[in-house]
Structure formats: structure tokens, C-alpha cells
Chain A
């Protein structure tokens, strides 16, 4: 029996990807723009929501209505993110323990925003594969707690996807590597992404990928590096120009993006220039930034990843010498200092053969293939990253399932009453490693129904079951009657079932309008970008081409401008193609010109 196709999705803090199994090899699906990654950015425009690259342009243009790094808010309450709210340009509120983004008149939960990114990926896969996609495997950081996993699952449902499995990012990466290398032995996967850090230690043997221990920090990633650079720039702009950029949300975004670009650049070159246009026509801020400066700025953050590595080794009852291979995952592992510190810790040169931006999505596709029955020789045995417990007398957490227990994992606890005739027992479920209940994450509360009997007589057996997704299920049974009782678990920081249903309904209601509206918006945006770029090129290189060619380009520009103001996306696309054709002599001439200039003063040996 073959199943409908299942795709693998990496829903990242900064970028998201979708992959599928193509004749035995996982493959990332590129978009119209040939790019594999969809920036995890959602912008609300006057004509509806847009996602990905076009939305990214709105970060500086329309910062209050453009959501980025939504993953940092999944499964969180407002209080959880208090310390960093100031960094985000959008307005956050809270409803029933769940954060809402206030965009225009309405508010949206993190799963709703994530669902828009997922829909974009779904559409991308459907366009590429020419079939409807309804099932997916979605990856999450290994150190995500129950609420964060549940929120991710909710996002999938809202996007019209049945989430067959939530899989941990580092383990997904190990599947992609395992398929490639047929590795055996003990491996460490160091995964530093845009917003989260994970370390997983696995044992690979005969196709079984057994996770021995995992650790991490769900609030540590590339975003934090960017923030340190941005803070430095903001301070310097203030010192030099007396301008407080905090008052200019659009410029704050420009600073953040410039910081990110500089950081990425410094992985390849020892020095780069940061340029910022200042507000109120105050000119431009320029600064050289060296890799050394970046490293001394961020070394503290990199050090913060090492403690979880040591904890994971300890939990796996291993030392660094036992690790046979180290695998690097996540864009932030491109930083030379990260590689150096990881190499020092494990005493091994880390692997980075597979693109660290894509390896997680590739692994998700492998897992999707396993679930659809395509691959049967590989099996992933993952663990729960955090201890699960219940609050007992005196506000102490009593552990029910320890961290790093292989999932699925189950445990039974017996409950009784303290007072005669008591008809209910309140149970508070927690996740975390701290002694006191209040220091751990509250997952949910529920009330066990008990028949009125003398104290201590009722015996209710509660089964806590963590499934293969790392998500908790609770069952209760009255041992005297043998009757099972269904439990209404109220999540502390999650959407209720009815809220999710409502959001799915809303998303369907607007789906039809959304698609056509979005096509128009995207076409207009692309057209706008092409017009700007062509005008700029014409200005720079107009003198290099024949006057006929120049005139033809100007005509095509005018035609496209007119089409852009219309409402037919196809007409816009057609005019774009014409402009591209007309401007060809210009681009060719400019390319030749820049090549000649670039090569001036270089020896032949440096060129060939």
C-alpha cells in the first residue's frame, strides 16, 4: 500500500525549506526565484499577506506589520519574551497564555503566522510536484518543550497539513548524513541556527539512529549575534551623530539586516564595511568591522553553547574521546570561531559536507520517506529533551519521565484523595529540571474526576505517554471500576482545540481570495524590483550600449510600469519578460565592463 506523498519541512527561525524524496535521494524544492530557502518573514500589506523574499523587503518599509523570527514566539507567553520585546518592531499582546501579533486591526497567534510560511512551502511543493500535498514531517529544535511542539503541530493544521511527525532538527540532520555516509559509531550533532541551539549525541548502528542525550538552548542563535553587532552600531551612531535609532523602527530593521550581512560576510573575509543610511537626511554612517572584532563581541555567546555540549556528554555517560564524528548544522556554524571551538571541545574536525542550511530539510524528507514506507532500513530512536513531572505537596516537582528517555515513553502514577467525599484531584503537569514546580515550565492542568468516597479509597491510575513526536498524552483509569476517563487537558501556553479549529476555518475562508490577491501582489513587487534595478543599470551603463538598445529598454520599462498599475498578474509577468529581453544588451555590456574592471591590476596567475 502506498501512501500519499509526505514532504519534509524545516520551519526555521530565519529561513524555511521543503524537501521530498526523489528516487532514493532527498531533494530541496526551489521556488520560482530558483532559491531553495523561503525567508521566514510574513508581511501584512494593504492587499493581504505576503511571505518570503517579497515580505523581506517590507522589513524596512513596513516594520510594524512585518513579522520575522516568529519561531521565537511559538508556545510562549508574553512574560517569557519580556526581555527582548524591545528588539521587535511589532506590537505583541496576549490572549489565554498565547502571544498575539497585532497587525492592523486584527491579532494573529504565532501558529497562524507560521502557517502562512507553511502554506508557501506547501504551494511550492505542489507547484513543483504537480500534486496536492496534505501530509508533512516538520522539524523543531530538539530542545523544544511540549508547548512549542504542540504550537508547531497547530501551525501545520492551520496550513492544511496533517503533521505526521514532529522530528528534532539535529536528528533529522543525522538521518541525512547517515544516508549519505552509511556512518557507524557515536556522533555529535552541533546545531546552531537562527534562533536556537541544540546538541545531540547519537549512536548509529545497523541503520538504527539511537539518540543517547540531547541538550540545548531555545533562545540562542544567529539572531543574538546580529543583535550584539546591531547594538554596537546603534551605540556608535549615537556617539558620532547624536541620533537614537531606537526611535526609527525602519532604520532599526536596516541596522539589523546590515549586522546580519556583515556577520555572514566575515565568515569568508577578515574585514568588511558596514554602511547605514541615517534618518532625517543626516547622511551615512560607515564603519570597518573585522572578524577579530566580531569574535570578541560574540565569543560569550559561543561559549554558552559549550555547557549544553558537556551536559549532553555527561548524560550520555560519555566523554569527548568517545565521539567518532562531529556534524555541524545550521547557518551559524559557518562562523570560523564556532567551528574552532567545536573542534577544540570534541578534538575532531567537524563534518560540514552537506549544506548546513539544507541538511535538516533533507533529513525531514528522509523521515517522511520512512513514514510512507519507502525506507525501512533506517529507524530513529529519539529522546525527550526535558524531564516531565507533576507538582506535589509543597510546590515540589516530582519527576515522572526523566529527560533523555527514549520516546515513545510511558509512566503510570496512582492518585487518591486526602479528604472524605472529595470529588476531584487537580493535577499540574510540568516540564523542566528544577526542583521547585514554579521554576519549571507549566504544561497543563487538569482535574481528575473521583467518586465521593472516604479519603484514600479512590485509586485513579494516570498514564503519561510521550509519543514519537515528543508530545504528551494523558489517560486516566479508575482502578476500582476499570473505567477509563477522558481528560480535558488545558494547556498553559497553547491554543485550545476549538481555537485551532477556528483558525483552520478562517484560513480556508480567505484561501481563495488570498491566492489571487497574492499573485498580483507578488507580480507587482517583482515588477517594481525589476524596474528599479533596470533604471539603475541604465544609469550606470547606458553609455556602453547602442542608442537603439537603450531606447528599446526605455520603451519596455514604460510598458511594464503601465502593466504594474493594472490588476492582471499575467500581463505584468509578460511585460517583465519583455523588459528582461530588451535589457539584455545592457546587462551583457555591464557584465563585461565589470569583469574588465575587476581584473585590472591582477596577475594572470590570479585569474586563471
Chain B
């Protein structure tokens, strides 16, 4: 078993790692609060968002469960409830709340969730450069020209009107393409989750795992690219 996998199968290990309460120095066993002195504890930097929000590391998630846990932890961490407490506790409350909000925002959105999981599993998600889908390369170059022409044209002219029709058609094409990519992503998410559920760690599953991650990364990068183009297009013609 590789280290990565150990980490996956028992995410609680990290949290339960021997650490001490910042306040009473007793050994910590509680989740976010010291069992002995009941003081709030800083959320460990190593704790991933899935673990923090108490949901399995999967790409298809139970939104309701996620929200319930988010509300529960908000009640535990929010600065509103630390007004009477010490400065240290207020500082922890602020940091934990900020972290919790980031975790929730990331996991709530399927695309951000997938990007985050990629980062956890394969690392360096920031290296994902948005890139155009290879087969759309020519089309996108042409679209950029049309956009430039449209921006330069007099809005009231017939040229602009013709260009606008053309751009609307392009927009429809790209949006369809975006939907296709999102469907493909859904499919990959399901494959990933199925693989995780099997929980095997053979060389075959490992290569399958790498294939899914790579494929996901490619589509995510293409999708972001197409999405940016569509946004640009919409902003220009509206």
C-alpha cells in the first residue's frame, strides 16, 4: 500500500494524530474542541476539506449532508459565539471560520470540488493551464478575429449586425461544447467514485486511477478555456 492510499482510507488518522490542546496541554482526542477544557482548537492545516466537512472523498456528494455539516460547524466556530471568550479563542474562531467557509465553497461547486480533489490526489492544480480543445483550435482563432472585427465595427452598422448573428451562432456551438464536456466530467466523476468504492490497490487500479485523473485534468482545462471565451463573447455582444 502506498502512503497516499493509507491517507485516503483512514482520513481520521491525521486528525487524531497526537497533538496537545493549546490551552490545557492535555492530549487531544476531541474533534474540534478539547475534551478536558472544552476550548476550541485550531483546525489542522493538513486537514483536507472533505474530512473537515465530514464527507467521503468522492466527486458525487450529498449536498444536503454537506450543508448540514457546514451549518453545524458554523455554529461551532463562528466569531459571533466567541465575543465573551479570550483573544486566543477569538483568533482561532476567526481562522477556523474562514477555513470552513473556503472548504464549503470549494466542495459545494462540482468543478471546484473536482479541481480540489485533483490537487489532493495529483498535486499542483495551479499548474493546470487553461488550454483550448485541440479540435476547436482553428475555430477559436477565427472567433477571436470575428470578436475583434465586431469590437471595431460601428454598432449601428449592418456589418455589426451580421457579425452579431455569427457570434450568436458561435456562442451556441461553444455552449453545447461546454455541456458535452460537463457530461464527460460527470462520467469521469462516477468512474472515480466507483474506483474509490472498490478500495483495491492493485497496479491495475492504480493505472486506472492515473488515467481518470489525467483525463479529468484535460477536460477541466479545456472547459475553463471555453467558458472564458463564452464569457468574453457574452460581455462583448451584450
Contacts and interface: CB of A to CB of B under 8 A. Distances in A.
B71 A410 contact: no
Nearest to A410: B98
A373 B102 CA distance: 26
Contacts of A3: 83-84
A373 B80 CA distance: 9
Contacts of A379: 74-75, 78, 80-81
Instruction: Tell me whether chain B's interface is mostly helix, strand or loop, or mixed.
Output: helix
A408 B74 contact: no
Contact of A371 (B80, B97, B104, B105): B80
Interface string A367-382: 1001111001001110
B101 interface: yes
Contact of A410 (B78, B79, B83, B99): B99
A206 interface: yes
A468 B79 contact: yes
A467 B84 contact: no
Contacts of A409: 98, 101-102
Nearest to B75: A379
Q: Which size class do A's interface residues fall under? A: 20 to 34
A327 to B, nearest CB: 22
A1 interface: yes
A411 to B, nearest CB: 8
A179 to B, nearest CB: 15
A408 B80 contact: no
Nearest to B104: A406
A255 B45 CA distance: 61
B229 interface: no
A405 interface: yes
Nearest to A377: B75
Contacts of A405: 101, 105
A465 interface: yes
B94 A467 contact: yes
Contact of A205 (B71, B83, B94): B71
B95 interface: yes
Contacts of A530: none
A1 B84 contact: yes
Contacts of A407: 101
Given A206-B71, A208-B71, A408 B84 contact: no
A164 interface: yes
Interface string B99-132: 1011011000000000000000000000000000
B105 A372 contact: no
Contacts of A206: 71
Given A208-B74, A379-B74, A381-B74, A373 B84 contact: yes
A373 B81 CA distance: 7
A1 B105 CA distance: 34
Given A406-B104, A409-B102, A380 B95 contact: no
Contacts of A371: 80, 83
B105 A406 contact: yes
B46 to A, nearest CB: 15
Contacts of B80: 165, 367, 370-371, 379-380, 468
Given A206-B71, A381-B74, A408-B94, A373 B83 contact: yes
A408 B75 contact: no
A3 B74 CA distance: 22
B166 to A, nearest CB: 25
B102 A410 contact: yes
Interface in B33-92: 71, 74-75, 78-81, 83-84
A573 to B, nearest CB: 40
Most A Cβ at <10 Å: residue of B81, B97, B99, B105:
B97
Contact of A406 (B79, B83, B94, B101): B101
B86 to A, nearest CB: 12
Contacts of B83: 3, 164, 371-373
Contacts of B104: 406
B89 to A, nearest CB: 13
A301 B115 CA distance: 43
Contacts of B98: 408-410, 465
Interface string A458-495: 00000001011000000000000000000000000000
28 contacts: A164-B83, A165-B80, A205-B71, A208-B71, A208-B74, A208-B75, A367-B80, A370-B80, A371-B83, A372-B83, A373-B84, A379-B78, A379-B80, A379-B81, A381-B74, A405-B101, A405-B105, A406-B101, A406-B104, A408-B94, A408-B98, A408-B101, A409-B98, A410-B95, A410-B99, A465-B98, A468-B79, A468-B94
Given A379-B74, A465-B95, 9 more contacts: A3-B83, A367-B80, A373-B81, A379-B80, A407-B101, A408-B101, A409-B101, A465-B94, A467-B79
